[in-house]
A and B are shown apart, each in its own frame.
Chain A
Amino acid sequence: MHMANELLSVPIATGTLAIAAAGLAFICKKARQFIASDKFPLMGILGAFVFAAQMVNFQLPAMPGTSGHMVGAVLLAIILGPHLGAIVISSVVIIQCLIFQDGGLLALGCNIINMAIIPSYIGYFLYKSFTIGPFSSLRTYIGAMMACVIAIEAGAILVPIEAALSGVLVVPFSTFLITMLGVHFLVGFAEGLITLAVLGYLQQVRPDIVVDSLQGKVRLSRNAVFITLAVFTVVIGAGLSLVASGMPDGLEWSYAERPDQPDFKPIVSNVEPTVSAVDDFQTRYTPMPDYSIRTSKLGETNEKEQEIKTSAGWTSFAGVAGSGLTMLFIWMIVSFLRKKKSLEA
């Protein structure tokens, strides 16, 4: 669920960046109060572990050919607690952006919120609230499963919302939302299974690591897995159809942001005041308001228009050609200078 730059508008991106920064600053400040010096390397290594863990895959049930891998937010939150877990996963997200170029620079704020902060806290508190009291295998199972599925869904829901608020969504919102929820339901389910299985393994070989969070033995049974799958499918399916029916029709939504038909009444702005407010804000305050000069490219076959179009064709050609020549020129100069230098040396 890595967001790309192109799914966001600048105000939303900067806004989420600011929220993420403030959130992280707050969490770090909070963490500094209780963190012991021996936690530094543990956190760092566990972050790296999350990376490596994503390479270990296993076959998913019911769908041969598909394999799952873990995401790790909830497992880390269970082992390290929500604050440290959120910091570790945030750093993972930042590294994914800065070293592996996964997710855009501008979308970093969204990604930190969606994938690190929200899942860590939601997952941890769901898990804790289910497993409070004396140990029971069933409760641990339900707790971890709920924590993983809901935490990941919560993060995934934010992606279409942020995109919609940015007003860049071409795909109908409801379609996007349902796809995201559906895919991440599977992701969350796999995550839950693997989290539980890892906890079980840890308990078998290094009980001291998970001693605070697991007092008894975790067991995974096939029936429990299938029952969970069924329950979740029904719940999510029902929820989704409710959500979907409340949404404007997919096609209409995409019309809603069509400036080329000024007499078309946008449905969405009636339904969702926040969206329209943000849209409004955006058209007013983005450095480059979006739809200003597009007429020259839209199709009416007026002759004068035609003329404008042809000239627009030439200017755009000139732009592309000029840029291409510039790049070629730069490349030639640099390689010439370099050759000269290496000859001198």
Chain B
Amino acid sequence: MHHAYIDKFAYQDSPIHRLDGRVKFIVALTFTAVVVSLPRTSLSILTCYAVGPFTILVLGRIPLRFAFKHILLVCPFILVLALTCPLYDRTPVNVAFGLFLWQTSLGWMRCFTILGKFIVTMLALIALVSTTRFSNLLTGLHKLGVPKLLIIQLGFLYRYIFILIDSAHHILRARDGRKLTNLGFTAELKIAAAMLGSLLIRSIDSAERINIAMQARGFEGKWRSISKLKFRRCDLLFTLSAASFLFGLHFFIKPILL
């Protein structure tokens, strides 16, 4: 996993990218809540909801391949859960879709709904994250009341995760370059501990140096930052359209489909 890999699309520019982070966050959260609380056996309505994140992704110029690759990466846990549904719920149901009519079990229906909901909510999350620079998201979260200490932590984390992941990779490489046999459990554990330990020591050392760099620039414990967030007219427009999308689906399309 490399730097540019995970958040490269957040640094593009598009109308969606320019929206206020707060607005996008709240919309994504609401959208997720609405989708999660949909009935457990209705699949077709999910595709209607998918239109929302899909639009954002397309407008934000996020390749759909990227989004689906990500979903694949994080799906194993939910996949296992979804696949247990057919085992436990064998109530037969008839499913009608267009001209076709077939019989399956409620468990399968649920399995697919869970997966469908997972995909749709993940699309929403990816749409949020890959159209919002993390720093803007942080400022947005701060404005929404997340404690400053946590925001500072998140900022540091975001900055140093990639560096440390890289050095973990390098250490692993150095081990693999010289590791030919399994030396037995105790030795393995010791080696792993030594690798973790040296990573930890390096982290602590660089924390000490960062501390010097911060103090050298006058830091005394009080965290100041400039907020670049502004609620503009397009944010209002976005909120309104998102609201009417959800509202319309809920009150007009959903009753028809179910």
Contact = CB atoms under 8 A, between A and B. Distances in A.
A258 B91 contact: yes
A343 B182 CA distance: 60
Given A9-B36, A29-B147, A55-B169, A297 B47 contact: no
B177 interface: no
Contacts of A4: 77-78, 81, 118
B203 A46 contact: yes
A43 B163 CA distance: 15
Contact of A38 (B59, B92, B211): B211
Interface in B177-235: 182, 185-186, 188-201, 203-204, 206-208, 210-211, 214-215, 219-221
Interface of A: 2, 4-10, 13-14, 21, 24-25, 28-29, 31-32, 35-38, 40-49, 51-53, 55-61, 70, 87-88, 90-92, 94-95, 97-102, 104-106, 168, 170-172, 193-194, 197-198, 200-202, 205-206, 209, 220, 222, 250-251, 254, 258, 260, 286-288, 290-294, 296-299, 309-310, 312-317, 319-320, 322-324, 326-327, 330-331, 334, 338
B182 A101 contact: no
Interface string B30-55: 00111111111111110110110011
B158 interface: yes
A322 B44 CA distance: 10
Contacts of A94: 150, 154
A233 to B, nearest CB: 17
Interface of A is mostly: helix
A338 B13 CA distance: 13
A313 B95 CA distance: 7
Interface string B144-183: 0111111011111111110111011101100000000010
A49 B200 contact: yes
B172 A330 contact: no
Nearest to B222: A37
A326 B28 CA distance: 20
Interface residues of B, number: 126
Given A59-B182, A313-B100, 11 more contacts: A9-B36, A37-B211, A37-B214, A43-B156, A45-B203, A47-B153, A55-B169, A104-B122, A288-B34, A299-B93, A310-B101
Contacts, number: 344
Contact of A106 (B29, B43, B78, B146): B29
Given A53-B196, A56-B196, A317-B44, A330 B36 contact: no
Nearest to A300: B94
B23 interface: no
Contact of A315 (B84, B124, B171, B257): B257
A198 B78 contact: no
B236 interface: no
B157 A171 contact: no
Given A41-B211, A100-B6, A5 B192 contact: no
Contacts of B106: 260, 298
A87 B149 CA distance: 8
